[in-house]
Amino acid sequence: MDKHYDYLVVGAGLFGATFAHEAVKHGKSVLVMDKRDHVGGNIYTEKTEGIDFHKYGAHIFHTSNKEVWDYVTSLVEFNNFINSPVANYKGEIYNMPFNMNTFSKMFGISTPDEAVEILNRERAEIKGEPRNLEEQAISLVGRTVYTKLIKGYTEKQWGRDCKELPSFIIKRLPVRLTYDNNYFNDRYQGIPTDGYTALIEKLLEGTELMLSTEFSPSDKDKYFTLADKVLYTGQLDAYFSYKYGKLEYRSLRFETEILEESNHQGVAVVNYTDREPAYTRIIEHKHFMCGTQLDNPKTVITKEYPADWKEGMEPYYTINDEKNNSLYQKYKTLADEEGLLYGGRLADYKYYDMDDTVEAALKLAKEVL
């Protein structure tokens, strides 16, 4: 490739695409490369049987940041989807997040005062500072809610008993004393009416793409000759060839089925909160589109299984314990010393909601463009 660019962006996910969009707006030439054969990273969507399919798990855009909301909605239209998942515990269905609908069914009560009395009585079981995740959860919501809606789901997520998990994993558990099933508290919420891929494609207008191309640390000098500056959105430990060791992650495995039925579960997301089955949730994709795809006689569902991450697997969740955070700081120091531009969920080694990702990319763009 003979052409020279102002910026090479490694990663065509939301962070990289947002930065690339801002760079093009500033008159910069941008080459975007990605190891996958499509843009969008983990928010990639595609049509399957006429249904918008979230290939890498459910993504709902929610934010209280008006600047971010105005930014994304200026690019593509969003629907008015409200995330209202339910939990299935051994066939019992409970509304999420924990609210008066949940407590009414679980305890056979109807008023907030009754709920508070039961929750406080059960919370009192834990004396002193919680020593592990189980004690932390009980201190926040009591044993009944913990047993039915937290324990099995969390143990599947992390592959360990809740008594062996540190308490800091759950800092807070929202308890709503209202009959409100909206999972998020944010002011703005929705999903692009044409899917997230349409949003990414809009962000990448004016850039050049190089897909199905793995960024190899051993070849980075070759890639760096393509552009004056590089923005890297991948794993920072991989970028430095694991000089200090490997950061840890949790991964996911997906099983997707096309069913000959129009409405499988009546909601976009059902969490399975017992230890069995092995999957943590089932996603029925057509419900993300606010009823516009319900007349389709087929439906697409995805079962989501947590997995221990190994090299070669997709890293979905960072494990931000003391050991990994300390290791990450070593790589961050190397990156800063090198003057590398980096950002996003993997390069920053932190969990980002989508609005956080856009906000962070815009912040970086303002600093360097």
Return the C-alpha torsion angle 188, 295, 197, 319, nearest 10: 70
Q: Is 250 a catalytic residue?
A: yes
Q: Tell me the C-alpha distance between 116 and 103, whole Å.
A: 10
Q: Tell me the C-alpha distance between 306 and 352, whole Å.
A: 18
Which of 304, 355, 356, 359 does the annotation list as catalytic?
Answer: 304
Q: Tell me the C-alpha distance between 107 and 114, whole Å.
A: 9
Instruction: Specify the 3-state DSSP secondary structure of 115.
Output: helix
| Residue 307 in tokens | 């997995």
Q: Is 172 a catalytic residue?
A: yes
**Cβ pair 268, 288 in contact under 8 A:** yes
Beta sheet of 249-259, edge-to-edge order: 92-95, 86-89, 269-272, 281-284, 299-308, 249-259, 317-318
Q: Is 281 a catalytic residue?
A: yes
Which of 194, 248, 250, 279 does the annotation list as catalytic?
Answer: 250
Do the strands 92-95 and 86-89 form a parallel or antiparallel pair, or are they unpaired?
antiparallel
**Cβ pair 288, 78 in contact under 8 A:** no
Q: Within the chain, how many helices (H) and strands (E) appear?
A: 11, 16
Backbone φ and ψ for 8, nearest 5 degrees, come out as -105, 120
**Cβ pair 270, 277 in contact under 8 A:** no
Which of 5, 155, 176, 342 does the annotation list as catalytic?
Answer: 176
Which of 37, 129, 172, 221 does the annotation list as catalytic?
Answer: 172
Do the strands 30-33 and 5-10 form a parallel or antiparallel pair, or are they unpaired?
parallel
Q: Could you tell me how far CA 226 lies from the centroid of its own chain?
A: 31
Q: For the chain, where are the E strands, in sequence order?
A: 5-10, 30-33, 45-48, 51-54, 61-63, 86-89, 92-95, 188-190, 208-210, 227-232, 249-259, 269-272, 281-284, 299-308, 317-318, 341-342
Residue closest to 280 by CA, chosen among 101, 44, 88, 62: 88
**Cβ pair 126, 139 in contact under 8 A:** yes
Which of 155, 237, 274, 281 does the annotation list as catalytic?
Answer: 281
Catalytic residues, by residue number, are 172, 176, 250, 281, 304, 351, 353
